[in-house]
């Protein structure tokens, strides 16, 4: 432990941004707000990426911890109480100056403030509130703020913070309560879901207030999000997307983030170190499925099942679904409704929208589809234009699979290393055996019970 009294802002920023880097969300989307001309800042609905770090992730917000001192001892976390790492804490003033000066130079879109638990959840939340209050009221900052609600803090405090922030999030940490008990002994599913429910209810209440009084203050206008660690506990993809689906449906979350587990601590309860690094392909597949849930009207149960609990490494979830449901295809571009078009591999929700609008003004041919952004090398097996397929192809699972694999999916660079790895029947999950046995009973029911 290093004594923090003499630290400069630069040292603190080093320590506290390094400690915050495992938080996934760095989005600044979801709020549109013009500046009122008296302060600094506004918000774009789409969000703005200001830079990209060497790991290819977007830097949009000044992502820092208020402090990395922590009384909790979560096994996977670099800042856990039992780790001997340099500790530091900002003061509210320091955070405000950094945000204002960075923002003014267009380095950042706003602040992402998280924190370790210093002394107690209530004490930490109080400090976070003080910081945001100063930033909003004294510095007159009108940019984006994403803040973490600390599980266990008082309800009214969380509510007060929500009126200053654009987005709030409580980390679910691990997909199941069993995993949480094993790896985060100081947190329970209940202590995490309570603030989440609170934020949801408050936001609902606020929506009605705004309907009545247009200028009522807004409570987390960009909604709430959460994140789970993938690969630290042996849940299947099926369980994970079921949890995500319940969160979207029952807690009105805007986003669920998945973070591939990274080894920072040695602990007997964590999976063994794996040579190939964090399970990035699995994370990628989960995000793809997440998009299907949010934008493509899919349900978790359609993508995976108890019998096939993990995603195909070779095909994306949508192609995979289409190949198992060839009875719906081919689809006629000029007549099929929007919802059917959404399910065609190679057609995104934007191009589906464009197709629906454009065909009112004329018949579409394959060449037109290409211009609208449809990925024909995937879509051509599932579409007809005016009754004709693009090439004479067969509607057979094996035939299409073979062809789809030969065009090679464009994975984000760096996680395409799969082609050199020996394929295993058990997909991308290789846990130690005993962990499988311990958790065999974990099925869908307990997840629903927990979230219900």
Partner 1 sequence: MKKVYICSDNITGIFSAIYDAWKEGREEDNAGISLRDNLEQELFCEYVESEESEKKAAAVVQMIKNNMGAAVYMDIYQAVLAHDKDKGNAILRTLLAARKLPDSTKIMNHLSHSGVEKVFELSRRVGGEAHQFKGFLRFKELENGILFAEIEPKSQVLSCIAGHFSDRLPLENFMIYDRTHKMFVVHEAGHQWVLVLDDVTDTAKLNRVSEAQREYERLWKGFCKSISIKERENLILQRQNLPLRYRQDVVEFQQ
Residues near partner 1 (CB under 8 A): 9-10, 13-14, 17-18, 20-22, 34-35, 37-42, 44, 46, 48-60, 62-63, 98, 101-102, 104-107, 109, 143, 260, 262-263, 277-278, 280, 354, 357-358, 360-365, 368, 371-372, 412-414
User: What minimum distance in Å lies between the beta carbon of 321 and partner 1?
Assistant: 27
Residue partners of 418: CB distance under 8 A and separation at least 6: 281, 313, 314, 411
User: What minimum distance in Å lies between the beta carbon of 395 and partner 1?
Assistant: 27
Residue whose CB is less far from partner 1, 20 or 177: 20
Residue whose CB is less far from partner 1, 62 or 336: 62
Integer angstrom CA distances of residue 12 from 17, 18, 92, 97, 447: 8, 10, 13, 13, 39
Residue whose CB is less far from partner 1, 49 or 314: 49
User: What minimum distance in Å lies between the beta carbon of 415 and partner 1?
Assistant: 8
- Which residue from 87, 93, 37 is spatially nearest to 65, judged by alpha carbons? 87
User: What minimum distance in Å lies between the beta carbon of 139 and partner 1?
Assistant: 12
User: What minimum distance in Å lies between the beta carbon of 358 and partner 1?
Assistant: 4
3-state secondary structure of 260: strand
User: What minimum distance in Å lies between the beta carbon of 364 and partner 1?
Assistant: 6
Dig out the tokens for 371 from the structure. 């211009």
Residue whose CB is less far from partner 1, 1 or 54: 54
Residue whose CB is less far from partner 1, 142 or 206: 142
Residue whose CB is less far from partner 1, 13 or 323: 13
**How far, rounded to the nearest angstrom, does the alpha carbon of residue 371 sit from its chain's CA centroid?**
30
Q: Is the peptide bond before 330 cis (omega within 30 degrees of 0)?
A: yes
Residue whose CB is less far from partner 1, 6 or 307: 6
Contact 176, 235 (CB under 8 A): yes
Q: Which residue, chain included where needed, has tokens 């506004």? A: 42
User: What minimum distance in Å lies between the beta carbon of 20 and partner 1?
Assistant: 7
Q: How far apart are CA 291 and CA 317, in angstroms?
A: 10
Kindly state the DSSP code that residue 388 receives in the 8-state scheme: B
Q: How far apart are CA 115 and CA 52, in angstroms?
A: 23
């Amino acid at each position: 432990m290093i004594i923090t009294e003499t630290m400069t802002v630069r040292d603190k920023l080093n320590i506290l941004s390094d400690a915050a880097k495992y938080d996934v969300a760095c989005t600044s989307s979801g709020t549109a707000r013009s500046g009122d001309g008296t302060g600094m800042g506004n918000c774009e609905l789409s969000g703005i990426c200001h830079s990209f770090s060497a790991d290819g992730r977007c830097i949009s917000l000044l992502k820092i911890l208020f402090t990395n001192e922590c009384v909790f001892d979560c096994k996977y976390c670099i800042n856990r109480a039992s780790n001997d790492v340099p500790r530091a804490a900002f003061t509210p003033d320091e955070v405000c100056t950094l945000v204002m000066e960075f923002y003014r130079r267009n380095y950042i879109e706003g602040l992402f403030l998280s924190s370790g638990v210093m002394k107690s959840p209530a004490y930490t939340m109080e400090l976070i509130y003080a910081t945001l209050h100063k930033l909003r009221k004294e510095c007159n900052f009108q940019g984006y703020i994403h803040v973490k609600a600390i599980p266990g803090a008082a309800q009214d405090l969380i509510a007060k913070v929500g009126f200053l922030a654009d987005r709030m999030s409580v980390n679910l940490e691990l997909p199941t309560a069993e995993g949480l008990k094993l790896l985060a002994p100081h947190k329970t599913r209940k202590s995490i879901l309570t603030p989440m429910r609170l934020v949801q209810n408050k936001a609902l209440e606020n929506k009605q207030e705004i309907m009545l009084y247009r200028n009522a203050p807004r409570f987390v206008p960009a909604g709430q999000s959460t994140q789970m660690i993938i690969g630290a506990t042996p849940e299947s993809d099926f369980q994970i997307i079921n949890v995500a689906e319940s969160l979207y449906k029952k807690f009105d979350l805007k986003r669920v983030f998945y973070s591939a587990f990274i080894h920072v601590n040695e602990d007997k309860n964590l999976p063994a170190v794996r040579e190939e690094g964090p399970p990035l392909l699995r994370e990628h597949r989960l995000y793809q499925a997440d998009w299907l849930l949010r934008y493509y009207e899919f349900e978790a149960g359609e993508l995976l099942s108890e019998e096939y609990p993990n995603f195909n490494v070779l095909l994306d979830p949508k192609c995979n679904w289409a190949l198992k449901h060839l009875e719906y295809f081919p689809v006629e571009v000029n007549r099929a409704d929007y919802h059917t078009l959404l399910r065609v591999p190679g057609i995104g929700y934007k191009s589906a929208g464009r197709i629906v609008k454009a065909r009112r003004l004329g018949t579409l041919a394959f060449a037109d589809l290409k211009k609208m952004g449809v990925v024909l090398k995937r879509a051509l097996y599932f579409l007809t234009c005016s009754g004709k397929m693009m090439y004479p192809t067969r509607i057979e699972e094996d035939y299409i699979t073979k062809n789809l694999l030969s065009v090679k999916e464009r994975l984000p660079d760096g996680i395409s290393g799969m082609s050199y790895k020996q394929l295993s029947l058990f997909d991308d999950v290789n846990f130690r055996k005993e962990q499988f046995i311990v958790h065999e009973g974990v099925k869908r029911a307990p997840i629903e019970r927990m979230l219900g």
